[in-house]
Structure 1
Amino acid sequence: MAMSVSMPLGGVQVGSYDSYEQAQAAVDYLSDEKFAVENVTIIGSDLRMIERVTGRLTQGRAIAAGAAGGAWWGLFVGLLLGIFSTSGTAWIGSLLLGLGIGLVFGALFGWMGYRATQGKRDFTSTSQIVASRYDVMCSPAHAEEARAMLARFSLRG
């Protein structure tokens, strides 16, 4: 019976950083030094979801956001339909018609979406997943070389 040793996902740890930008800079340094970066993995640990509330969502804001999105789609459809127009006036007409219809339907759908939530989530926000630590991992065959290079990288400042 063959024995096997479990290898951590990504290989052997060759560096650990507080931010993704620092880990990315370390891997970029390895790449600049002509290291075989296809053997490198960045692993984020202790993940957290951070949601930042950006404002209050009112019926007016929901309608305005829907109208803006609908206007863009209407403009796009108007441009596509304008390809088949025979004159400049017809092209502008299809553009304005698409814009107007998109604006109205977007506002209507924005209002319906707002009403459907029944005030359960009347705020806007952005969310992101962040890790408390980012480990740079490397395949065992190249780990010592990567560690030596990253030691020089950390001495750079």
Structure 2
Amino acid sequence: MAVVILYGTETGNCELAADAISDVLAADHDPSIYDMSEFAVEDLDPADFLVVVCSTYGEGELPTGAEPFADELEAVAPDLTGLRFAVFGLGDTVYGETFNRGGEIIAEKLTARGATQVGEHARHDNSSPVKPSVQATEWTRGLLAVIETANV
């Protein structure tokens, strides 16, 4: 099973987290990493396992890098039944209720198309001393068993 990692970022932190996730997955899988702004919704394959890495911008909006993908999900409205995905979100608790909303928005759009979210929805807090790539590495180690279950 192929693992596809899509990241949507404003400042580049999601790309660093996606690289850390890929490093962990590379031992057992051959992950591919794409910027959401450069990935076509038509290329989503239910046979793949999808990892979404998405930040939150402003007051709970998607980052600029995720907007084209989200818009295309709405416009194309693909049937994603059978697609399993996990989300690693980035945000900052100083924004209160909109903390980590970007990852949630993408998850909602994918599930609305029939995809199934699995594993822990990780929520990195930029106000914490933990770097996103460090948390992403730990989260991915826990995700490995979920991916293997999806591979059965």
Which is bigger in relative contact order (C-alpha 8 A, separation at least 6)? 1
Higher Cα Rg, which structure: 1
TM-score after normalising by structure 2: 0.23
TM-score after normalising by structure 1: 0.23
**1 or 2, which has the higher strand percentage?**
1
**1 or 2, which has the higher helix percentage?**
1
